[in-house]
A and B are shown apart, each in its own frame.
Chain A
Amino acid sequence: MSLVRTTYGRRAFIQRVGLAGGGMMIGFSWLASCKEATPEEVAMMPKEWFEINGYLKIGDNGMVTIMSPNPEIGQNVKTSMPMIIAEELDTDWNNVIVEQAPLNTDLFTRQLAGGSQSIRQGWEGLRMAGATARHMLKEAAAQAWQVPVAEITTAAGMLQHQATGQSANYGEMASAAAQIEVPEQVELKDKKDFNIIGTSRKNVDGKKIVTGQPLYGLDTYKEGMLIAMVVHPPAFGMKFQSMDTSSVTSMPGIKDVFTINTYKEDTPRSFSDIATFNEMVVIVGETTWQVMQAKKALSVSWEEAPNVSYDVDFFGGSLTTEYPAGLENTKSHHLKMVEMASKKGNVVRKDGNVEKAFQKAAKVLERSYSCPFLAHNTMEPMNFYANVTTDFAELIGPIQTPEFMEKSVAARLGLPLEKVDIQMTRMGGGFGRRLYGHFLVEAAVISQKVGAPIKLVYTREDDMTFGNYRPSYYVTYKAGLDENNNLIAFHVKAGGIPESPLFANRFPAGSVENYLAEDWTIKSNVSVGAWRAPRSNFIAGAEQSFLDEVAELAGKDPIDFRLELFDKAIKNPVGENNDYDAERYAGVLKLVKEKSNWGTAKPGVSRGVAAYFCHNSYVAQVLDLTMQNGTPKINKVYSAVDCGIVVNPDAASNMIEGGVVDGIGHSMYSAMTFNNGEPQASNFDKYRLIRHQEAPMEQEVHFAKNDIDPTGLGEPPLPPVMGALANALYKATDKRYYHQPFMTNKPFLG
C-alpha cells in the first residue's frame, strides 16, 4: 500500500464543492437519459444517492455512480477511467453505473482527449478518488460499530469487521460516509491486489451503441431547434466576397442566410481555435435536407485572401499561426520540399562529428521519404448544438478540448465563463480533429445571431474540405557503416508543410556516436492540426523503413540490427537527452520476435518488422503479407506493446488492432491533395479509406507484463505498422516503399 495526499493541488476534494459550485451533481439523469428504462434498471435504482466526492456517489442500496471525466472519442476511457475509481473504491463492477461527467475544471483535471494521456495523467487522481471514498466508508462503519477503522476491511462493495462479525454493504454506510471529513491522505491498494484493473470489462455504452440509442452530438434534438450549415471558401487562400441569396431565402423551410466571423480580431484564441477560414456563409432552416438543398442552390462569390496571421495560446506559450496569401498546389508543395531537403537545415541535435564519420565510412546509404496531407474523416462529421440567450450559452456536442473551448466561446460571446455550459457527447471518432473547436464557436455565434437553439451540421464534404489536416512531410536519412558493418554515422533531416516531423532525441539518437538531426519548414495556408500520433504517424514508418534498408546493407537481421543499437544505448548511451528507455524498447522487439516466431519462413509470406516509441509507450510489430494478383493481402499482424499496466486488456487489444488497421490504411491508400488551394477529395468516393477486404485477416496483441503506471495507448500502435508494412512490401516486391500512399509509391501529386 502507498499513501497519497488527497489535495492534489486542486479544490477537487473539498467536500461537496460540486453542490456549492452550481449544483452540478443535482439532477441525476441516469433514468432520464434512457428513453425507456427497463424494469431491471428501475429495480437497480436506489431510493436515495449520497455524494461522496465529485467523482462518485453511492446509493442506499449499494449502487455506485461513477463520473467519467474525460471526453470519449472511441478510446474507451468512459469504461477504463471509472474502472480505476471502482478498483480503489473496492466495489463490485456490476453495481457501477457510469455517467459522462460535466465539464468542471474545479473538480476534474485535464478534461481533454489528446496525446494518449487520459489514463496516464488521470491515473493518480482517479485512484485517489476511489480510495478517498473507500476510506470515508470505512470511517463511517468504524463509528457505527465503535471499532478501530484500521480493523475494517472491504471487498466488492462490502465493509467487514472480522473480530465482531459485523458487515454492511456500501449503501448502508453511504449516508454516514458523506458526512465524514475528507482525509488529508489515503492509502492506495497494492497493485498486486487489483481485481478490476487488468481484467477485461465491456464498453459501458455497448448496449446503447448496438441498439441505436442517441449518444452522439449529431443525435441532439431539442424542441424548437433549427438546423444550420456553413458554406466555407472552396479553396485555401480564398475568402468570402459577396453572395446572392434571392434564390435561397424563399426555399421551403429556409429561415435565414447570413455571414459570420467565427472569431473577432481581438478574440483571444488557444491552439484549439486554429482554423484557416474565419468568415463564412450560414444557412439556417427547419430540417437538414432543406438546408442541404439551399446550400447547393446558393450562389457565393469568393476572392483571394491576403496574408493572415494570429497568435494562439499553446499551453501557456504563444504561437503565431500564419497563412500566407496564394493558391497552393500539391505539385509545387512537393517541389518546394525537395528543394528544402537539398539545403542545410536547422541543427537540432549534434553528437560527435557526422561529416568526418561519413568520410571514413565503408558504406553510405541515403534515402528520402514523403507523405501527403491527410484528412481526419471522423465518421461523425463536425457538429454542435448551441442555445445562446442574452445571458447563457448551452452547448452540446463532440469536442476533445471542452476546457479550452469554454473559454473561447465565453470570450467570443462576451459572457462570463460560468455562463457557458459545454456538455460532452460520445464522439463518432476524434483522431485529433475535434481538438480544434471552431465549429463549436460557429454554432454559438449562429445561435446568438438567430436568437434560437440551432444544431450546426457539417456535411461530409464540409468536413473533408475544411480540415485541420495531417501535414505533408519529407525526410532524408543518411547512414554510414564501418568495415565491420557497425553504424557509425546517422543523419536525419526532416521537414514539412508547415511543420517538421523531427523528434531529434528519439532513437536512433543515443545509439550512434556521430549523429546529426536537422529540421526545416515551409509556410502554407492549408490548415493543419494534430492527427492521431502527430509527426510520429509519418516519421516512424520512414525511420523504420530506412533502418531495415541499413540492416540489409550491413548484412544483418533487421531485429538483431536494432537490438545491437539498443544494446549500445543501454550500455554506453551517446548524448544526454535520449527520449526513450532502451531496455523497454528492446523488450517489445524481443517479445514480438518470440511471438511471431521470427526467422521461420512461411512459403509465399513476406514479413516486415518495425518498432517505435511515442506517447510514453513502446510498440513493435511484425506484419505478414502475401501478394494476390499484384495486390498485397495482409495475413497477420503481431503487436507487442509496453504501455505499463493495462487497465482493460480486451479493450486495449481492440484499440491496438484498430491502430494497426488505421496505420495500414492511411499509409497504403489515403491522401489529400490540393489544386489551386482546393481540396481534391470531398467525400469517400475520391478519398480512399481502408475497408473490410483490405484489413489484416488476423491480429495478435501481446503486452509486456510489468507494474509500471499506465502510459499511452490510443496513438502508439499506429506509427510503427507503417514501417512494418513498407518492409514486408519490400520483401514481397523487391521494391522499397519511400512514398506514401504506398499503393502509388511515388510522391503523390494528385
Chain B
Amino acid sequence: MATYDLKINGKSHSVEVDPSTPILWVLRDHLQLVGTKYGCGIAQCGACTIHIDGSATRSCQIPVSAIGTAEITTIEGLSEKGDHPVQKAWLEHDVPQCGYCQAGQIMTAAALLNSNPHPTDEDIESTMNGNICRCGTYLRIKAAIKTAANSGTLS
C-alpha cells in the first residue's frame, strides 16, 4: 500500500492503494468515478479510455504508481455541464444504444479532435478502431465526430 495524490478532473484526490492498481480501479472502486468502464482489462475494447495529460489512454493498463503528476480527465470531467462539443454531438445523433462503451468512445473522440480538429473518415476510423461498440453504433459515432468537428466550438 502507498499513498498517491492524483489530479483528476481539476481536483486533488488522495488514495491509499497497492501501487500496481490500474487507474481504472482507483477511479471506480476508490473514488466512485464509475463513468470510466471496465470492458476487457487488456486494452482491447477501449471502454476504460481516459485522458492523461490530454492523451487518450486505456486506464486498465496504467498502474496508479505510473501517474506521477500527470493530469487525469475522465468522462465526468470532460466538461462541467456535459456540454463538450463531442457530448453535444452524441446527443444530437442519439448515438447510444446500451451506452456502456460510449464514455470510452467519447473520450477517444475528444482526444482525436484535440489533436486533429478536422479528421478525415480514415482518421476517424483508424483512431476509433480500438473502441468496440457491441451494439454497432459505429456509423453514428462517426457522424457525431464530424458534427463535433464542424461545430466550430472546439477549443
Partner of B45, one of A74, A662, A684, A696: A684
In the complex the two chains form, is A683's CB within 8 Å of B29's CB? no
Q: Which residues of A contact B29 (CB under 8 A)?
A: 227, 287-289
In the complex the two chains form, is A699's CB within 8 Å of B139's CB? yes
Known contacts A207-B82, A654-B137; is A74 also within 8 Å of B98 by CB? yes
Q: Complex formed: what's the CA distance from A214 to B103 in Å?
A: 12
The answer to whether A428 has its CB under 8 Å from any CB of chain B is yes
In the complex the two chains form, is A695's CB within 8 Å of B91's CB? no
In the complex the two chains form, is A212's CB within 8 Å of B100's CB? no
In the complex the two chains form, is A429's CB within 8 Å of B125's CB? no
The answer to whether B94 has its CB under 8 Å from any CB of chain A is yes
In the complex the two chains form, is A657's CB within 8 Å of B136's CB? yes
Give the shortest distance, in Å, between B3 (CB) and chain A (any CB).
15
Q: Complex formed: what's the CA distance from A662 to B135 in Å?
A: 7
In the complex the two chains form, is A211's CB within 8 Å of B35's CB? yes
Give the shortest distance, in Å, between A657 (CB) and chain B (any CB).
6
| Most chain A CB atoms below 10 A, which of B1, B22, B91 | B91
Give the shortest distance, in Å, between A479 (CB) and chain B (any CB).
33
Q: Which residues of A contact B41 (CB under 8 A)?
A: 292, 459-460, 683
Q: Complex formed: what's the CA distance from A699 to B137 in Å?
A: 11
Near A by CB (< 8 A), chain B positions 7-45 give: 17-18, 20-22, 25, 28-30, 32-42, 44-45
In the complex the two chains form, is A662's CB within 8 Å of B37's CB? no
* Chain B interface residue bracket vs A: 35 or more
- Chain B residue at minimum C-beta to C-beta distance from A214: B34
In the complex the two chains form, is B138's CB within 8 Å of A692's CB? yes
Q: Complex formed: what's the CA distance from A212 to B140 in Å?
A: 19
In the complex the two chains form, is B132's CB within 8 Å of A657's CB? no
Known contacts A73-B98, A221-B32; is A290 also within 8 Å of B18 by CB? yes
Near B by CB (< 8 A), chain A positions 55-86 give: 73-76
The answer to whether A509 has its CB under 8 Å from any CB of chain B is no
Give the shortest distance, in Å, between B116 (CB) and chain A (any CB).
16
Near B by CB (< 8 A), chain A positions 226-272 give: 227, 252
In the complex the two chains form, is A203's CB within 8 Å of B134's CB? no
The answer to whether A351 has its CB under 8 Å from any CB of chain B is no
Q: Complex formed: what's the CA distance from A216 to B38 in Å?
A: 11
The answer to whether B149 has its CB under 8 Å from any CB of chain A is no
In the complex the two chains form, is B99's CB within 8 Å of A209's CB? yes
Partner of B99, one of A205, A459, A684, A695: A205
Q: Complex formed: what's the CA distance from A375 to B4 in Å?
A: 39
Near A by CB (< 8 A), chain B positions 99-155 give: 99-103, 106, 121, 124-126, 128-142
The answer to whether B54 has its CB under 8 Å from any CB of chain A is no
- Chain B residue at minimum C-beta to C-beta distance from A429: B98
- Chain B residue at minimum C-beta to C-beta distance from A698: B139
In the complex the two chains form, is B136's CB within 8 Å of A659's CB? yes
In the complex the two chains form, is B97's CB within 8 Å of A381's CB? no
The answer to whether B87 has its CB under 8 Å from any CB of chain A is yes
- Chain A residue at minimum C-beta to C-beta distance from B99: A209
Q: Which residues of A contact B96 (CB under 8 A)?
A: 74, 203, 205-206, 209-210
Q: Complex formed: what's the CA distance from A221 to B102 in Å?
A: 21
Give the shortest distance, in Å, between A623 (CB) and chain B (any CB).
14
Q: Complex formed: what's the CA distance from A288 to B22 in Å?
A: 10
Q: Which residues of B contact A691 (CB under 8 A)?
A: 129-130, 132, 138
Partner of A210, one of B22, B74, B106, B135: B106
Q: Complex formed: what's the CA distance from A239 to B103 in Å?
A: 38
Give the shortest distance, in Å, between B5 (CB) and chain A (any CB).
19
In the complex the two chains form, is A209's CB within 8 Å of B125's CB? no
Near B by CB (< 8 A), chain A positions 664-716 give: 665, 683-685, 689-693, 695-699
Q: Which residues of A contact B103 (CB under 8 A)?
A: 209-210, 212
The answer to whether A326 has its CB under 8 Å from any CB of chain B is no
Give the shortest distance, in Å, between B142 (CB) and chain A (any CB).
7
The answer to whether B56 has its CB under 8 Å from any CB of chain A is no
Q: Complex formed: what's the CA distance from A691 to B133 in Å?
A: 7
In the complex the two chains form, is B128's CB within 8 Å of A651's CB? no
In the complex the two chains form, is A212's CB within 8 Å of B134's CB? no
In the complex the two chains form, is A695's CB within 8 Å of B136's CB? yes
Q: Which residues of A contact B124 (CB under 8 A)?
A: 692
Give the shortest distance, in Å, between B97 (CB) and chain A (any CB).
4
Q: Complex formed: what's the CA distance from A428 to B40 in Å?
A: 13
The answer to whether B6 has its CB under 8 Å from any CB of chain A is no
The answer to whether A380 has its CB under 8 Å from any CB of chain B is yes
In the complex the two chains form, is B137's CB within 8 Å of A658's CB? yes
Partner of B100, one of A76, A202, A289, A429: A429
Q: Complex formed: what's the CA distance from A691 to B1 in Å?
A: 38
Q: Which residues of B contact A692 (CB under 8 A)?
A: 124-125, 128-129, 131, 138, 141-142
User: A-B pairs with the 9 shortest C-beta distances?
Assistant: A212-B35, A661-B136, A428-B100, A74-B98, A212-B75, A658-B136, A684-B44, A209-B99, A74-B97
A residues with a Cβ closer than 8 A to B are 73-76, 200, 202-203, 205-207, 209-216, 218-219, 221, 227, 252, 287-290, 292-293, 377-381, 426-431, 459-460, 650-651, 654-655, 657-662, 665, 683-685, 689-693, 695-699
User: Could you write out 19 A-B pairs with CB less than 8 Å apart?
Assistant: A74-B135, A206-B94, A213-B35, A252-B18, A288-B25, A289-B22, A293-B20, A379-B133, A426-B99, A428-B99, A429-B135, A661-B139, A685-B42, A691-B129, A691-B130, A692-B124, A692-B142, A698-B139, A699-B139
